[in-house]
Amino acid sequence: MLVRRMEETMAKFLMFGRYTAEALRGISADRTKHALSVIDRHGGSVDAMYAMLGGHDLLLIVDLPDVESAMKASIALNKMTGVAFTTCPAVTVERFDEIAGEA
């Protein structure tokens, strides 16, 4: 029961990253570990990380306490890595259906 309550207090965010030339030069497993610690310091956890082709180079799926924490984590990651992130809140389709029904 306690675990469920903790999950409910966290929000899901999708963080889409784009490499700059500077950020590309700094790619390493060590930097990835540091990036994970940035999310942790802002009260969150990383569900998954993907490298991609196309309009975005990276996708991080993260749980964070709130929008303010997501903004701080996004800015901190950009400062540390040079990767520019677009961070978007996400809800499950089931929750979206509930929200739409309440509107």
Q: Which structure tokens are listed for 85?
A: 């992130």
Q: What is the CATH number of the domain that holds 68?
A: 3.30.70.260
Q: Per 3-state DSSP, what percentage of the chain is helix, strand, and coil (rounded to 5)?
A: 50, 30, 20
Range of the structural domain that residue 74 is part of = 7-102
Q: pLDDT digit of tens for each residue in the chain (103 aa)?
A: 444 444 457 999 999 999 999 999 999 999 999 999 999 999 999 999 999 999 999 999 999 999 999 999 999 999 999 999 999 999 999 999 999 999 8
Q: Which structure tokens are listed for 94?
A: 């089931």
Q: Which structure tokens are listed for 56?
A: 């975005």
**Cβ atoms 23, 56 nearer than 8 A:** no
Q: Please indicate, yes or no, if residue 2 is contained in any of the structural domains.
A: no
The pLDDT, as a whole number, for residue 9 is: 75
Q: Please indicate, yes or no, if residue 1 is contained in any of the structural domains.
A: no
Q: Please indicate, yes or no, if residue 96 is contained in any of the structural domains.
A: yes
Q: Is the pTM of this model over 0.75?
A: yes
Total domains in the fold of the chain? 1
The pLDDT, as a whole number, for residue 2 is: 42
Count of other CB atoms within 10 angstroms of residue 47:
11
Position 58, amino acid: L
